[in-house]
């Protein structure tokens, strides 16, 4: 389920950024697009020291099947047979670093895009308050139970 979203957040962020900097003829934009393209290669050649995860983080990661995404990506890239999962493995850590980068960069880019689009100009005070309350409620539900938070957000987005 999450594999298409990883592709989406990375590829569509690249396309949006490239379109924007070509349209505005921005040199700094092209540098940012280049950096976006180079980041997976930098991650691939990094030497990563395994570090400990709390039992809660590890259990949440495994119980919610997020590790399957790492396995599927490593299988797709022919980096593993996909039969073993070790959160301290170099390949697994690097894949997780890429996933984290792709989502973080996508959301940071989205915030800058929101300024360009100007969606906030048509947002009323009541709508903004409702969005903030929904966001806080979402954080609370995720904190209470990650699985319930995911279900809550899927329901909120698709209903």
User: What pLDDT score does 42 carry?
Assistant: 92
Same domain, residue pair 85 and 139: no
User: What pLDDT score does 143 carry?
Assistant: 81
Distance between the two ends of the chain, CA-based, in angstroms?
18
Same domain, residue pair 142 and 108: no
Same domain, residue pair 142 and 85: no
Same domain, residue pair 44 and 54: yes
DSSP 8-state symbol, 119: G
User: What does the alpha-carbon distance between residue 141 and residue 152 come to, in Å, rounded to a whole number?
Assistant: 8
Q: Taking the model in full, what pTM does it have?
A: 0.65
The model's pLDDT over 28-56, given as tens digits with 9 standing for 90+, comes to 889 988 988 999 899 889 887 766 677 88
User: What pLDDT score does 38 carry?
Assistant: 93
User: What pLDDT score does 24 carry?
Assistant: 83
Same domain, residue pair 57 and 129: no
User: What pLDDT score does 1 carry?
Assistant: 55
DSSP 8-state symbol, 122: G
User: What does the alpha-carbon distance between residue 110 and residue 42 come to, in Å, rounded to a whole number?
Assistant: 23
Same domain, residue pair 135 and 75: no
Low-confidence ranges of the chain (pLDDT < 50): none
User: What pLDDT score does 144 carry?
Assistant: 82
User: What does the alpha-carbon distance between residue 55 and residue 140 come to, in Å, rounded to a whole number?
Assistant: 21
From residue 157, alpha-carbon distances to 94, 136, 151 in Å are 30, 15, 10
Same domain, residue pair 106 and 134: no
Tokens of 107: 């959301």
Domain holding 43, by residue range, is: 3-122
Burial category of 10 from C-beta neighbours within 10 Å (exposed 0-12, middle 13-18, buried 19 and up): buried
> Chain-centre distance of CA 152, in angstroms?
18
State the Cα torsion 22-28-33-34 to the nearest 10°.
120
Same domain, residue pair 108 and 145: no
Same domain, residue pair 117 and 53: yes
Same domain, residue pair 7 and 52: yes
User: What does the alpha-carbon distance between residue 159 and residue 154 come to, in Å, rounded to a whole number?
Assistant: 8
User: What does the alpha-carbon distance between residue 65 and residue 38 come to, in Å, rounded to a whole number?
Assistant: 29
Number of domains the chain is built from: 2
Burial category of 94 from C-beta neighbours within 10 Å (exposed 0-12, middle 13-18, buried 19 and up): buried
User: What pLDDT score does 116 carry?
Assistant: 67
């Amino acid at each position: 389920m999450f594999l298409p979203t990883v592709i989406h957040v990375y590829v569509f962020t690249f396309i949006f950024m490239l379109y924007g900097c070509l349209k505005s003829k921005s040199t700094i934009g092209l540098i940012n697009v280049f950096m976006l393209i180079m980041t997976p290669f930098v991650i691939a050649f990094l030497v990563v020291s395994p570090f400990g995860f709390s039992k809660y983080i590890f259990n949440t990661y495994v119980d919610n099947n997020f590790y399957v995404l790492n396995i599927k990506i490593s299988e797709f890239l022919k980096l593993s047979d996909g039969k073993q999962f070790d959160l301290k493995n170099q390949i697994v850590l690097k894949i997780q670093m890429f996933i984290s980068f792709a989502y973080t960069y996508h959301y940071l880019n989205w915030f800058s895009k929101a300024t360009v689009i100007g969606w906030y100009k048509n947002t009323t005070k009541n709508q903004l308050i409702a969005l903030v309350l929904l966001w806080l409620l979402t954080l609370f539900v995720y904190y209470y139970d990650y699985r319930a938070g995911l279900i809550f957000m899927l329901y909120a987005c698709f209903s």
